[in-house]
Amino acid sequence: MFDKSTWIKLPRNVVVGHGVIDELGETIADLHLTGDPLIITSPTPNELAGDRVRAQVPGAETIIVETASFESIERVIETAQAEEADYLIGLGGGKPIDIAKMAADEINCGLVSVPTAASHDGLVSGRSSIPEGDTRHSVAADPPLAVVADTEIMAKAPWELTTAGCADIISNYTAVQDWRLANRLKNVEYSEYAGALSEMTAEMLVDSADSIKPNLEESAWIVVKALVSSGVAMSIAGTSRPASGAEHLISHQLDRIAPNQALHGHQVGVASIMTEYLHSGNDGQWRAIRKALKSIDAPTTAAELEISDDDLLEALTTAHEIRDRYTILGNGVNLDAAYQTATVTGVIERD
């Protein structure tokens, strides 16, 4: 008997382009959302774009969050309930959007995502990623009903936020390899469509690397399209597997060991050079990944991440513990192997 079923949740409206933040009101009306929203943002995005958002949703309260934590989510839920908010608007980078996504899921209301940086591929995904203690929760949450991504704002954001978004996409190469490995060794369900979409997204971004330049709005356009596509791959899969493998585990560990040191996308990029080496050895594609990262100005070494060699090695040897997700890290990389991996790939220098 055929007994498979799937439920793919995607945003209904994805509005991308120059000045589209001023079309937020229209986008909300198109979704038939009524009543007052609560705006969830972080300090800089609030300063940059909060007033333009508030101008279109008069009466909306704003809550400013600093960290992606369960405490922040709790605060948002309490405020939304006290204010009787009818839906949420997440404004900013990955953190406020993830918090808003999880809070909206919890209180069962809609979410509109207004990213101000092309720095991560969670802007359309049906996943929310929140650290807690020694672990990291990547939980299913409804994707935003709409995404309003203003390329004018994103192009003016610090260049490193855009290069972080590119590196988050380039890391899809190793994420998909980990997913296939887990399918072969652990019978983890694999989606050919989601895997192919994720790899094609990375391929297209790398092919466009020459057009990705600072202060160029077309660059923000190219990167946002890739981030949307990668987020859709996660939604099709119903898991972050297409865009998150061992390189993400290492980055999540770095968030614990060396908090707020480097951007998420930059960490996963450097980690994917090493996990590609672990997958395919010295003759594999790790040089191609490093070259792709360099071509878009993303870091390729621990020093460029401002992370010490010891912290990097600790993350590489302990990342397998963080989550029940089988990857090339298996049941752990020992310190000698980690040192070999990090030095051969030039991520750290030999003593």
Residues binding ligand NAI (CB under 6 A): 42, 44-45, 48, 68, 92-96, 98, 116-117, 119-122, 125, 127-129, 153, 157-158, 161, 164, 168, 234, 240, 263-264
- Compute CA 224 distance to the chain's CA centroid, rounded to the nearest angstrom: 12
Binding residue count for ligand 13P, defined by CB under 6 A: 10
Instruction: Determine the Cα angle at 97 with ends 216 and 68, to 5°.
Output: 115
In the block, residue with structure tokens 């209301």: 109
Looking at residues 162 to 181 of the shown chain, list those that interact with ligand 13P (rule: CB under 6 A).
168
Question: In whole angstroms, what is the distance from residue 82 CA to residue 84 CA?
Answer: 5
Beta carbon of residue 228, minimum distance to ligand 13P (angstroms, whole number): 13
Beta carbon of residue 335, minimum distance to Zn ion (angstroms, whole number): 26
Contact between 244 and ligand 13P by CB under 6 A: the answer reads yes
The DSSP element (H or E) to which 294 belongs, if any, is helix 286-295
If DSSP codes are grouped into helix, strand and coil, which group holds residue 326? Answer: coil
Residue 264 assigned ligand-binding role: yes
Beta carbon of residue 243, minimum distance to Zn ion (angstroms, whole number): 6
Amino acid occupying residue 331? N
Crossing angle of the two packed helices 309-318 and 264-280, in degrees rounded to 10: 60
Beta carbon of residue 283, minimum distance to ligand 13P (angstroms, whole number): 27
Q: Determine the interface stretch with ligand 13P among 78-86, 109-117, 240-248, 269-277 (rule: CB under 6 A).
A: 240-248
Pairing, β 135-140 against β 127-132:
antiparallel
Q: Is 269 left (phi over 0), alpha (psi -120 to 50) or beta?
A: alpha
**Given 168, 178, 247, 255, the residue binding Zn ion (CB under 5 A):** 168
If DSSP codes are grouped into helix, strand and coil, which group holds residue 249? Answer: helix
Binding string to ligand 13P for residues 127 to 166, with x set by CB under 6 A, is what?
x-x--------x----------------------------
Beta carbon of residue 235, minimum distance to ligand 13P (angstroms, whole number): 12
Taking CA atoms, 263 is separated from 48, 292, 296, 299, 300, in Å, by 20, 18, 15, 10, 13
Which residues are CB-neighbours of 26 under 8 A, at least 6 positions away? none
Beta carbon of residue 177, minimum distance to ligand 13P (angstroms, whole number): 15
Task: Output 227 or 333, the one with its CB closest to ligand 13P.
Answer: 227
Taking CA atoms, 60 is separated from 56, 186, 227, 262, in Å, by 9, 48, 28, 33
Residue 248 assigned ligand-binding role: yes
Q: Determine the interface stretch with ligand 13P among 6-14, 16-24, 121-129, 192-200 (rule: CB under 6 A).
A: 121-129
Contact between 98 and Zn ion by CB under 5 A: the answer reads no
Instruction: Indicate the annotated binding residues for glycerol.
Output: 121, 168, 248, 264
Q: Which residues lie near Zn ion (CB under 5 A)?
A: 168
Instruction: Indicate the annotated binding residues for Zn(2+).
Output: 168, 248, 264
Q: Which residues lie near ligand 13P (CB under 6 A)?
A: 121-122, 127, 129, 138, 168, 240, 243-244, 248
